[in-house]
Structure 1
Amino acid sequence: MRAILKIRHQLATLTTTSALLLAFGATRVEAAESAKDDDVLRAQLSLDASAFKPGVIDGKWGEFTGKALARYMQSQGKSAPDFGDKPPAEFDLPLDRERPTKTTYQFTDEDVKQIGEVPEDHKKQEELDRLRYEDLLELTAEKFHATREFLEEINPGFDWKNAKAGSEVQVPNVQMPFALQKPEDLKKQTEQAEKADKLKVEDDKPEAEQFKIQISVADKILELHQGGKLVGSYPITPGSDSLPAPVGEWYVKGFSWMPTFRWDEAMLQKGERSGDAYNLPPGPNNPVGILWMELNKDGAGIHGTEVPETIGRTTSHGCIRLSNWDVLDLGTKVRPGVHVSIQ
């Protein structure tokens, strides 16, 4: 009997030990995956702070993080590999490991003022003075260049529907949070310069400082070149099958910050202007976002968007679409007259 009890005890010990080893192994795997996710998030933040933009921040490796990293490396004179579906073992980036990847943000009264209903009906939208953010989750996602899903993930249990001024949330620690005041200020500056006939254009710069825009429809990337060198890139949505982006050589005729957008279904679907249209007011939920850069091609332009998480993953109506924070960055670098090559 004692021998049987001893065997049972040994089996129980082995089972417990095996379970502990499995749990320890699972914990190590989870820790490794968490560290890798943290590295991806840190890489996205580093690229977002650079001139090579990764698109929306979500802490996950993806197509546009890889394309941004490859172009950053190319700009440094290094080979630019196709990273594929998996992140590199080591990121060839100046990662600041002392800087936290997340920080706390407290909602303000000004944030709350930027919230308002956005009707689906364009006629009702036309009656509004602004197309505001629908809620504080949408505002926070744009301000910190993130997906709404990622914000919900890093704020488990937070009641976004009842968020108010004074509420605090965790957000990606981006270097330059997006703020609507910047395009509002640029709108005033541009209008004043136009009235005084002092609007500066790209050709006013020394030749070595002039930018050129190169757009790859296939890669869904807008590259910025200066002095023959690659100096920046942005993920884009470049047209659609029915209304593709206009391939060819163009230039930007002018900028319209915080624009009113003429919603014309016939123009959007067929490229033909009709009399049945609505003038949609400015705001972050305007269909062309916070900036319209008109090309010397009827109906075509480079612009922002009200749905940044769809950049590169859906289609547009023949234009080049960027997130609002990326088009703001681009619009503060280039000037009217900048050359645009779409291939």
Structure 2
Amino acid sequence: MLPQTNRSVRTVRRSRIAAACFIGCLASQSAIAQDSESSLRRSIAWQVALETVGFTPGLIDGNPGRKTKIATWEFQRVKGLPKTGELDKATAEALKVDPDGSLILYTVESADLKEIEPVPHSWVAKSKKNLLGYSDLEEALAEKCHCTRGLLQRLNPNKKLSNLKPGDKYIGPAIANSARLPQAAQLEVNLNDKIIRVIDRDKQLAGLFHCSIAASKAKLPSGNAKVEFIATDPEYTFDPKMWPEVTEKITSKLTIPPGPRNPVGRCWIQLTLPGVGMHGSPNPEMIGKTGSHGCFRLTNWDALRLAKMVGAGTPVKFVDTPSEAAQRNP
């Protein structure tokens, strides 16, 4: 079962305002520029729609690539549509892709500034902080909009986003909160695809999340496990034995404070495997590109969403055979 969404009247109005402002800005541009921006809005709408139904495209960047196409292919399979991985008419209708409502006008809030706390490079210095926060406001706003910093800059070309103040406006992807999320009967972690699939009680695919896996094949799990517990905004125990690449002289374990740039991000889903879990990330733009130390790393918002779909005892199965979706979208 796919999750249902509920976007408030206020959000819809903001969407219309933003769309109108965005289109208005294009009026004085060339026809080529307008075609380019129209394509951008369509691409953003495609990625937003996939995230809304729980088939995440990775970060929203307005440039649909492999992650977006795999998510689309799987959505098409579940819906009984032709499996192309592309946004054809039938898929766009099933996803309710809305280019005119893909962007909204946000207002910077005081809360957006509360977690701006640049992270020091030293692990010892990190352990002495109360919070590991965002480097600047632009980074905080990009995470709020589930998008890349590059996309946010493109949507706001005449703004220095890091210098905005409470009450200032900016344009971003129209992220919708899911009103109801399906519960997982099982998680399937495909080590080859670098994807966590949520299987519901009817044995149907109900969600899909891209992840990073262990860089070392020796640390990749196999067989089965279960979810043991879930912790949000967790502290992190830095063990120098687990970080051989760190050159800083540290002889004992350190407690690293919580925050969006904590090594495990906003959420930790402990599995019944020693030291192994599914968790958020301090570097969302690197998901799927770099290896972890043995865990499964997601964006913070995907980790938090996944945490709402599982509970203690949820079975987890590890597979390493490439899925058809991945093979069709290399």
Query: One fold, TM greater than 0.5?
Result: yes
> Which stretch shifts more, 101-110 or 62-71?
101-110
Residues 269 and 317 of structure 1 are in contact (CA less than 8 Å); yes or no, is this contact kept in structure 2?
no
Mapped partners of 1:299, 1:269: distance in 2: 16
Residues 220 and 235 of structure 1 are in contact (CA less than 8 Å); yes or no, is this contact kept in structure 2?
yes
Q: 1:162 to 1:334 in 2, by over 3 A?
A: same
| Counterpart selection for 2:47 from 37, 44, 47 | 44
2:296 counterpart of 1:293: no
Mapped partners of 1:95, 1:158: distance in 2: 31
Mapped partners of 2:151, 2:107: distance in 1: 17
Per the alignment, residue 217 of structure 1 pairs with 191
Q: Which amino acid aligns with 1:38?
A: R
Q: 1:32 to 1:113 in 2, by over 3 A?
A: closer
Mapped partners of 2:71, 2:151: distance in 1: 20
CA offset digits 1:238-277 (Å, max 9, x no partner)? 111365431221111111211100112322459xxx9622
Mapped partners of 1:135, 1:217: distance in 2: 34
Unpaired runs of 5+ residues, structure 2, are 1-29, 320-330
CA offset digits 1:27-65 (Å, max 9, x no partner)? 665554443332211110101111211110011111111
Measure how far apart 1:73 and its partner are. 1.0
Residues 183 and 309 of structure 2 are in contact (CA less than 8 Å); yes or no, is this contact kept in structure 1?
no
Q: 1:231 to 1:210 in 2, by over 3 A?
A: closer
Per the alignment, residue 221 of structure 2 pairs with 246
Measure how far apart 1:137 and its partner are. 0.7
| Counterpart selection for 2:301 from 317, 325, 329 | 325
2:279 counterpart of 1:303: yes
Per the alignment, residue 71 of structure 2 pairs with 68
Once superposed, what is the RMSD of the aligned Cα atoms?
Answer: 2.4
More contact order relative to length (CA 8 Å, sep ≥ 6) = 2
Residues 216 and 342 of structure 1 are in contact (CA less than 8 Å); yes or no, is this contact kept in structure 2?
yes
Q: Which amino acid aligns with 1:80?
A: K
Normalising by structure 1, report the TM-score.
0.76
Q: 1:145 to 1:131 in 2, by over 3 A?
A: same
Per the alignment, residue 340 of structure 1 pairs with 316
**What SS class does the counterpart of residue 335 from structure 1 fall into?**
coil
Mapped partners of 1:110, 1:210: distance in 2: 32
Measure how far apart 1:96 and its partner are. 4.4
Measure how far apart 1:69 and its partner are. 0.6
Structure ID, larger Rg = 1
Per the alignment, residue 312 of structure 1 pairs with 288
Mapped partners of 1:275, 1:59: distance in 2: 45
CA offset digits 1:130-152 (Å, max 9, x no partner)? 11222111111111100011101
The size of the alignment, in residue pairs, is 281
Mapped partners of 2:115, 2:102: distance in 1: 26
Mapped partners of 1:154, 1:210: distance in 2: 36
Q: 1:76 to 1:279 in 2, by over 3 A?
A: same
CA offset digits 1:77-117 (Å, max 9, x no partner)? 33434x4xxx4454613324375221111111222222123
Residues 46 and 97 of structure 2 are in contact (CA less than 8 Å); yes or no, is this contact kept in structure 1?
no
Per the alignment, residue 14 of structure 2 pairs with none
Q: Which amino acid aligns with 1:129?
A: N
CA offset digits 1:285-330 (Å, max 9, x no partner)? 1010111111111111111111111111111111111101111111
Per the alignment, residue 102 of structure 1 pairs with 103
Mapped partners of 2:252, 2:218: distance in 1: 19
Q: 1:307 to 1:210 in 2, by over 3 A?
A: closer
Mapped partners of 1:269, 1:115: distance in 2: 29
Residues 279 and 297 of structure 2 are in contact (CA less than 8 Å); yes or no, is this contact kept in structure 1?
yes
> Which stretch shifts more, 48-57 or 154-163?
154-163
Residues 262 and 279 of structure 1 are in contact (CA less than 8 Å); yes or no, is this contact kept in structure 2?
yes
Q: Which amino acid aligns with 2:258?
A: P
Q: 1:145 to 1:33 in 2, by over 3 A?
A: same
Per the alignment, residue 180 of structure 1 pairs with none
- 5 Å-filtered alignment, 1:132-151, equals 132-151=133-152
2:32 counterpart of 1:58: no
Mapped partners of 2:49, 2:224: distance in 1: 32
- 5 Å-filtered alignment, 1:196-211, equals 211=185
Normalising by structure 2, report the TM-score.
0.79
Per the alignment, residue 263 of structure 1 pairs with 238
Residues 42 and 99 of structure 2 are in contact (CA less than 8 Å); yes or no, is this contact kept in structure 1?
no
Residues 300 and 318 of structure 1 are in contact (CA less than 8 Å); yes or no, is this contact kept in structure 2?
yes
Per the alignment, residue 92 of structure 1 pairs with 91
